[in-house]
Amino acid sequence: MREAEIHDIEVQVFLEALRLRHGYDFTHYARASIKRRLEGLVKDMGHQNLSEIIPLLLREHDMLPKVLGSMSVPVTEMFRDPQIFKALREKVLPMLSTYPRVNIWQAGCATGEEVYSLAILLKEEGLYDKTSIYATDINDSAIARAEEGIVSQKCMEVYSRNYLAAGGKGALSDYYHARYNFVKLDETLKKNIVFAHHNVVADGVFCETHLLLCRNLLIYFSKDLQDQVLRLFYDSLVRGGFLCLGSRESIRFSSIADEFTPVDETLRIFRCCPRLEKR
Amino acid sequence: MGRFDAVVIGCSVGGLKALQAVLDPLPEDFPLPILVAAHSAPDSGGILPGVLGAHCRLAVAEAKEKKETRPGHVYLAPPNYHLLVENNRTLSLSVDPRVKYSRPSIDVLFLSAAAAFGTRLIGILLTGANSDGAVGLKEIRDEGGVCIVQDPLTAKAKTMPQSALDIGVADHVVALEDIPDVLESFVEKGNG
């Protein structure tokens, strides 16, 4: 048997152990990336093979956060893909401003850079005070970091550039205080943000959403799982609500494709079509 | 059935010209899919498929997730995404951390392709200014595939092909202009 095939078996057994022992089901994730992440875990823990970690996964209490941390690698930046934030500012927020209250759900918020970007956008467009933002992830340590609102100083040059390209009305430095090599984002940005643990694969709808952002999470799922999660998003969105996906993600081949019309097809911003049966 | 099922190509600095030199001479009935990871600026907006497609007889497109790989098609990793191949030979994308400062990373593509295609893979490493790709090429070789490295003397940036030579993973070191012929000879040999 080829080494790669043995490796595949290890991954499969590991994912089954994780599912049966801890209730986290990664078996419908795209396998190639999962394999890479698990290789990272093996290396970090100083082991040779994934098989060596399976007993620990079953018996050691502190293994789960470590595993979840390595399987949902948080990669994000402030105003990442600035043209999307520009489109949200120009095309989506004006529509949301007609609602008396606005709920925004960012699914898979990772360490929170995007959710703070969104908060800045809402402040500048005068919507912040009537908005609740729910920022969720399965990675608790990422959520804890998101709540801290501390970002490395060396990233700020890129973030500032992104902010301006996203149509920023002031300077990004209006929203943070620099201390040593880190910046602390303005506490008031957090006032209406709720950070919470939520697993889009297993957990249900928890609010009526007017804008749902989930960027670059669906690419990690199998086609069936993508469909299941998109259906969850559809159930959460109000009639006329907006869905924003990653720039290489699509709803075209999903079972909810007909329920949405594109606001901006290239930027993957869609609107839930008004339909009679939808609330 | 031929000896090979797919070709993967990696390149960085000087990669556009090198890719054109490799792809342009290939016939439109080239029997394998070609997967490419070329380092590019994150905000370059995916212009590469259009530029490459202009003179190439193969169908060149940006790789889409879940797509099946088809013969005679060239799939390019989108800017700022890693491109991977699943064992069922469909394509995947990821925004996982940069590898060797790069996303897309050549190693990421090569490692996943080595697992998916095993002995039935041809890996080609072209010009570039860092060592991304060498580890992936080694994996292709370990899994029984064939590795072609551009002769650094013909490369705009030598570091990338040289790193592969340094760890001794090249089955064939080939001048840029000869790579298409070598590639075709492999394919014909396999099919004969």
B39 given a catalytic annotation? yes
A159: in domain: no
Structure confidence by residue, pLDDT tens digits, A68-77: 989 887 778 9
pLDDT category at B47 given cuts 50, 70, 90 is confident
pLDDT at B50 exceeding the cut of 60: yes
CA distance B115 to B136: 11
Are residue A131 and residue A208 in the same domain, yes or no?
yes
Q: Which residues is A245 bridged to in the sheet?
A: A214
A157: in domain: no
Mean pLDDT computed over A140-152: 93
Are residue A53 and residue A24 in the same domain, yes or no?
yes
A255: in domain: yes
A163: in domain: no
Are residue A29 and residue A88 in the same domain, yes or no?
no
Structure confidence by residue, pLDDT tens digits, B76-89: 999 999 999 999 99
Tokens of A18: 């994780």
pLDDT category at A158 given cuts 50, 70, 90 is very high
Are residue A211 and residue A266 in the same domain, yes or no?
yes
* Ranges of each domain in chain B: 6-15+26-191
Contacts of B144 in chain A (CB under 8 A): 2
Interface predicted TM-score (ipTM) of this complex, two decimals:
0.91
Contacts of B112 in chain A (CB under 8 A): 32, 35-36
Are residue A117 and residue A242 in the same domain, yes or no?
yes
**Structure confidence at residue A9 (pLDDT):** 97
Domain boundary among A44, A71, A98: A71
Computed over every residue of chain B, the mean pLDDT equals 94
Mean pLDDT computed over A7-14: 96
CA distance B169 to B119: 15
pLDDT at B190 exceeding the cut of 70: no
pLDDT category at A3 given cuts 50, 70, 90 is confident
CATH number reported for the structural domain that contains residue A106 in this entry: 3.40.50.150
Domain boundary among A26, A49, A71: A71
A179: in domain: no
Say yes or no: A164 contacts chain B, CB-CB below 8 A.
no
A204: in domain: yes
pLDDT at B192 exceeding the cut of 50: no
pLDDT category at A179 given cuts 50, 70, 90 is confident
Are residue A50 and residue A144 in the same domain, yes or no?
no
Nearest to A207 by CA among A269, A134, A111, A119: A134
Non-local (6+) Cβ contacts of A132 within 8 A are A101, A102, A103, A104, A192, A194, A207
**Structure confidence at residue A277 (pLDDT):** 52
CATH topology of domain B6-15+26-191: Rossmann fold (3.40.50)
pLDDT category at B43 given cuts 50, 70, 90 is low
Mean pLDDT computed over A75-88: 93
Would you list the DSSP string of A131-195?
EEEEEEES-HHHHHHHHHTEEEGGGHHHHHHHHHHTT-SS-GGGGEEEETTEEEE-GGGGTTEEE
Computed over every residue of chain A, the mean pLDDT equals 94
Structural domain of residue A46, as residue ranges? 3-71
Structure confidence by residue, pLDDT tens digits, B20-30: 999 999 999 99
Are residue A203 and residue A136 in the same domain, yes or no?
yes
CA distance B50 to A240: 36
pLDDT category at B189 given cuts 50, 70, 90 is low
The verdict on a CB contact (< 8 Å) between A75 and B84 is no
Number of domains chain A contains: 2
Residue of B nearest to A162 (CA): B43
Residue of A nearest to B139 (CA): A4
pLDDT at A109 exceeding the cut of 90: yes
B132 given a catalytic annotation? yes
Domain boundary among A71, A92, A120: A71
Structure confidence by residue, pLDDT tens digits, B168-185: 999 999 999 999 999 999
Are residue A63 and residue A96 in the same domain, yes or no?
no
The verdict on a CB contact (< 8 Å) between A30 and B118 is no
**Structure confidence at residue A278 (pLDDT):** 47
Would you list the DSSP string of chain A?
--HHHHHHHHHHHHHHHHHHHH----TTB-HHHHHHHHHHHHHHTT-S-GGGGHHHHHH-TTHHHHHHHHHS-----TTSSHHHHHHIIIIIHHHHTTSSSEEEEEES-TTSHHHHHHHHHHHHTT-GGGEEEEEEES-HHHHHHHHHTEEEGGGHHHHHHHHHHTT-SS-GGGGEEEETTEEEE-GGGGTTEEEEE--TTT----S-EEEEEE-SSGGGB-HHHHHHHHHHHHHHEEEEEEEEE-TT---TTSTTGGGEEEEETTTTEEEE---TT--
Are residue A208 and residue A256 in the same domain, yes or no?
yes
**Structure confidence at residue B56 (pLDDT):** 94
Is the Cβ–Cβ distance between A169 and A93 less than 8 Å? no
Are residue A202 and residue A131 in the same domain, yes or no?
yes
B44 given a catalytic annotation? no
Q: Which of B87, B94, B100, B117 to mutate to test the interface with A (most CBs of A within 10 A)?
A: B94
The verdict on a CB contact (< 8 Å) between B115 and A32 is yes
